[in-house]
Amino acid sequence: MAMYLYPLKTDQPPRRRFIVLFLCIWISTAFLSSCSDPDKKPDAEKENRDTGIHKTFERGPVSVYIDVDKNEITIADRLNLTISVISDEEYDVKLPGFGEKLEQFGIVDYQTSQPELTGDNRLKFSRSYILEPFLSGDYVIPPMKIFFKKKDDDAGTDHEIETEEIIVHVTSLLPENFEQMALHDIKPPENLPQSYNLWLWAGILSVVALLSGLCVFVVIRKRKKTGDTLVTNKIPAHLLAFDELNALVSENLVEKGDIKVFYQKISDIVRRYIENRFNIKAPEQTTEEFLTGIQTRNDFDDNYKALLKNFLTRCDLVKFAMHQPETEDIQNTFDSSKKFILGTKEEE
């Protein structure tokens, strides 16, 4: 709609000029309002959700604050856990220690802050942990006990504050319909785009291949005449795997204390055997992806699927979760690899 504004004449009455000016302002305001975005929401309507977990526990002169930055993560994320304590100056407070892991979580790093005075002349310090999950599922941060007592009371008993259990949900990186996923065979090489140079090189290579084939044919024919036979034997996948297991034993990694390296190598041996035996890309997949995919294949029966799952899970616990296996566990892992290879080997 076109709008024309004529200049106001100075000889018009004041009331008439005021009415015209008011109409101009009203029409301009209505036009600008119609151009605004109707779907735009004010900042006050934006969602502002706190996805973390925050709990407070108090007893006497001591207050404990547990802060977890997220209540749900994926297996590729890390979780920040902070334990903060505010107490009177005359009290000593002792935080719990976890070692290299906290239940199902692995501890990547942690640090303890220096005590500082708060506004009410109390001491505050905290300890922060970076936690790393291993598999998907519900992870539990167990109740923790914080002990405290007066500094000048050497004979006094320790008091304690016990926190509550905290549950963090760890989701998988796989899609929701992962039950329908299946492992596929290795894709063949893709064809290169055709061009004149490609045809030229293809012709040259064809001539070279023809001449090479002719030479091989002549050599084989001559060997047949002399009684020689050219035989090419393919080494079975299980024999290659057993050679690698023997080489692994000869390295004496367990005796040297390199348990993690031992589990890394024996896991790689089994994964290479699966690739050579069943043409599955086992070395390039995570344990979770691989175990999910073999559920839909019939390359071997369910007993060996369960055996393989236990074997790979024990290996990953040592490689990623800082698990320290006993001597009996190491022997069982080695025996499981041999049992799986023998039970699924290709019949001669």
Instruction: Give pLDDT tens digits for 170-188.
Output: 987 766 655 555 556 667 7
Residue 39 pLDDT > 50, yes or no? Answer: no
Q: CA-to-CA distance for 79 and 108, rounded, in angstroms?
A: 10
**39-43, 299-303, 334-338: least confidently modelled range:** 39-43
47 — pLDDT class (breaks 50, 70, 90): very low
Residue 34 pLDDT > 60, yes or no? Answer: no
Q: Which two tokens stand for residue 132?
A: 């790393």
Contact 313, 288 (CB under 8 A): no
Q: Where are the beta strands (DSSP E) in the chain?
A: 53-59, 62-68, 72-74, 79-87, 91-94, 101-102, 105-112, 116-117, 123-132, 137-141, 145-150, 159-162, 166-171
Please tell me the predicted confidence (pLDDT) of residue 184: 61
Q: What is the pTM of this model?
A: 0.42
DSSP letter assigned to residue 147: E
Residue with tokens 């990694």: 253
Q: Which two tokens stand for residue 302?
A: 């369910």
In degrees and rounded to multiples of 5, residue 264 shows phi and psi of -65, -45
Task: State the number of CA atoms in the 13 A half-sphere of 90 facing the CB.
Answer: 6
Please tell me the predicted confidence (pLDDT) of residue 128: 92
- Residue with the bigger pLDDT between 340 and 321: it is 340
Read off the amino acid at residue 55. Answer: K
**15-19, 142-146, 248-252: least confidently modelled range:** 15-19
Please tell me the predicted confidence (pLDDT) of residue 163: 92
Q: What is the pLDDT of residues 206-221, one digit of tens each?
A: 888 988 888 888 888 7
Please tell me the predicted confidence (pLDDT) of residue 19: 66
Beta bridge partners of 148: 93, 159
- Residue with the bigger pLDDT between 171 and 36: it is 171
Residue 4 pLDDT > 80, yes or no? Answer: no
Residue 5 pLDDT > 50, yes or no? Answer: no
Residue 121 pLDDT > 70, yes or no? Answer: yes
Residue 67 pLDDT > 90, yes or no? Answer: yes
How large is the average pLDDT for residues 279-285?
A: 75
106 — pLDDT class (breaks 50, 70, 90): confident
Residue with tokens 């006990």: 145
346 — pLDDT class (breaks 50, 70, 90): confident
Please tell me the predicted confidence (pLDDT) of residue 348: 64
288 — pLDDT class (breaks 50, 70, 90): confident
How large is the average pLDDT for residues 238-267?
A: 92
Q: Quote the percentage of the chain above a pLDDT of 90.
A: 22
Please tell me the predicted confidence (pLDDT) of residue 36: 47
Please tell me the predicted confidence (pLDDT) of residue 49: 38
Please tell me the predicted confidence (pLDDT) of residue 270: 92
How large is the average pLDDT for residues 284-306?
A: 78
247 — pLDDT class (breaks 50, 70, 90): very high
Strands in 145-150's sheet, in edge-to-edge order, are 91-94, 145-150, 159-162
Beta bridge partners of 80: 130
| Mean pLDDT estimate for the chain | 78
How far from the centroid of its chain's Cα atoms is residue 110's Cα? 20
Q: At what angle do helices 302-320 and 327-344 cross, to 10 degrees?
A: 140
Q: CA-to-CA distance for 159 and 157, rounded, in angstroms?
A: 6
Residue 48 pLDDT > 70, yes or no? Answer: no
Residue 44 pLDDT > 60, yes or no? Answer: no
Residue 96 pLDDT > 50, yes or no? Answer: yes
Q: CA-to-CA distance for 85 and 146, rounded, in angstroms?
A: 9
Strands 79-87 and 62-68: antiparallel
Read off the amino acid at residue 322. Answer: M
Beta-carbon count within 10 A of 40 CB: 7
